[in-house]
Structures are given as C-alpha cells and as structure tokens.
Amino acid sequence: MSSQNQAVSTFASELQSLANPDQVREKRREWLAWVRQQFQSLSSLEPAEKRRVGQELNHVKNEIERLTTERLRELDIADRRDGQAFDPELPAPPVRLGHAHPTIIILRQMNAFFQSLGFEVEDGPEIESDWYNFAALNLPANHPAREMQDTIYIQEPDMLLRTQSSAVETRVMERQKPPIRIVAPGKAYRCEDVNASNNYMFYQYEGLAIDRNIKMSHLYYVLQEFLRYMFGSQRKSRFRAKYYPQVEPGLGVDLACDFCAGSGCSVCKQKGWIEILGAGMVHPNVFACMDIDWNRYSGFAFGMGLDRLVMAATGISDIRELYGPRMSYIPEV
C-alpha cells in the first residue's frame, strides 16, 4: 500500500472511532497540520519527485476533507434519529437540480434525427403577416380552411399570432432557391377549447424538402424512418388520404393510442388513434407564390403537433400537464 493510501486509511479508521462532531473536526485539524508539514519538506526533493509527492499530498488533503464531511453527515443523521440538536456547521445536502422540459428533450431528439438526413433547423417570428401564414401557403382570404384554425389576430386583417410554423417555410422559400431541406420547430397559437388533447398554445414541427425529382416515396420513407426512430418498430401507425391546402396529394399519419390500447379515451377522442402529423407533396400554387418553377422542382412538406408526440413518447395523458407545474384541473369523463 502506498504511503498516501496508508495515510488516508489511517485517517478514515480514526474518524470511525469518534462519535462527537467536535472530536471529528479536531482530528481533521490535526491531519491537515500534518499535511502542511509534509508540504514544507518538499523543498529538499528533486523537481520530479517534488511533483509526484505534491500530487500525493493533495490527494490526501482532499480525502481528509471528503471523509470528514461524510462522517459529520453520518453523525448528524444519527443525532436526528436520537432527537438530538441539529449541527449548524454540517454542510448542506446537495440541491437536486431540475432537467430539461419533456418537449425540449423530444425536440432535440427530432432535430438530431432530421439533421442526420441533411435537414437544417430554421426559426422564424411568432407574430406573422397574413401573407406568410396563409396566402403564400395556398390559403387565400376566402379559403374555408382558414375558419378551421381560429386565428388570434393582433391587428386585422394582416398581423396575427402564427397558427402554424409553416410560415417559416414560406420565408425560407422566399429567400432561398432549391434545393431546400429544412425543419422548423416552434410555437403556434389558435383560439382552441382547452382539453386533454388541445391547447391555445402548442408546439409544431414542420418540414420541407424541395429538389428535382422529389416523389411521394421519399416522403413515405422519411416519415416511416422517423416513426421507427421515435417509437420503435412495434408501435402501430397508419397513413391515410387527407386534404391540406398546402399540399396535393395530402395524407394524415396516426399512431395507435397507447393510453387506451385502441378502445377509445379522451386523449384519442374515442377513436383509438392519435393523429400526429399531416403531409403531402407541395402544391403548385405554393411554388407559384414563391416564384419557384414547379415544372423543374417538386417537394414534400410535413407538419406535426409536437405536444402530441411528446405525450405519446412519454406517457403524459393530458396536454395541460406540459404547460404548468402539475396544474390542477377537472379531468374529462
């Protein structure tokens, strides 16, 4: 056994024989005084040997401090069990730190996946104009799909809180010509009835790829790989035709509801499936608004409710739990 290990072992043994905090502190002072004496004797050593012995003495000093703290904590616990007074000189227990929000954890995982496929992460303003949020995405002023989004206007008819992070896509298409491959995570706002699966503020995750000869098979591959990455190969999913004004043709993607095993509950709205994203091939009208030649280029887009993905991945059954410290509410029947 090396001399430093022998010294630490001896000190630890002596501490265990002491049952009084004052005696423990006195023993610490004695040993630290011994360490100081050893440091003073280093001047007579060769440089290499001085460095080696100095490192050993630093190790002994650190162990003295650590073992003293542990022994004082042990004695404090024993004192409290015996009903004795609390020792105010005892170091405070370590503070338990928090961790990243579940939404941020899933968001980072998704970014890592899409970046591995060559997508870049883009961001944009949450206060948007009608042009970027609606018109450039093939939703003109009289389009019925606008009524489905219950827009929160700041100044009608042009300034609003974005209802979808697709607005980032239009901004990117405006400033950058193909090829384009981006994802756009961020908050969106709609005047929704708050319940287990809907909230007036929520996170969306949009994606866009534009290049020559992009086909629906490319979109299908990306989405299948994404679902396998996030939920594993055993989680059931389904693809079905669905209308979205930004794309043609369009599709919806659902996950089997894990909360009710497909029997129906408040989370899946009694359907047995949770709709997590919509997608499709970019509509020629969108290309025309962005001055992109749709005869030369094609592309796909997808958008998903990030909150529902978080719920599906973490087992959180009520979206309201994501936006408060376990806020109390009346569960739906």
Question: Residue 329 domain-assigned?
Answer: no
The string of pLDDT tens digits covering residues 79-94 is 665 555 566 676 776 7
Please state, in angstroms and rounded to a whole number, the distance separating the CA atoms of residues 230 and 309: 9
Classify residue 173 as exposed, middle or buried by CB count within 10 Å of its CB (0-12, 13-18, 19+). Answer: buried
Q: Residue 268: inside a domain, yes or no?
A: yes
Beta bridge mates, 210: 180, 299
Phi, psi of 87 (to 5 degrees): -90, 110
- Answer yes or no: pTM beyond 0.75: no
User: Is there a single domain that holds both residue 170 and residue 319?
Assistant: yes
pLDDT digits 0-9 by tens, 169-200: 999 999 999 999 999 999 999 888 887 777 88
Contacts of 124 (CB under 8 A, 6+ apart): 132, 162, 165, 167, 168, 171, 184, 186
> Looking at 254-258, 274-278, 286-290, which range is the least confident one?
254-258
Pick the closest to residue 254 from 269, 232, 241, 239 (CA basis): 239
Q: Which two tokens stand for residue 306?
A: 């990030």
- Is 267 inside any structural domain? yes
The 10 Å Cβ neighbour count of residue 187 is 13
Q: Domain of residue 28: give its range.
A: 3-81
Same domain, yes or no: 43 and 130: no
Residues 111 and 75 in one domain: no
| Total domains, the chain | 2
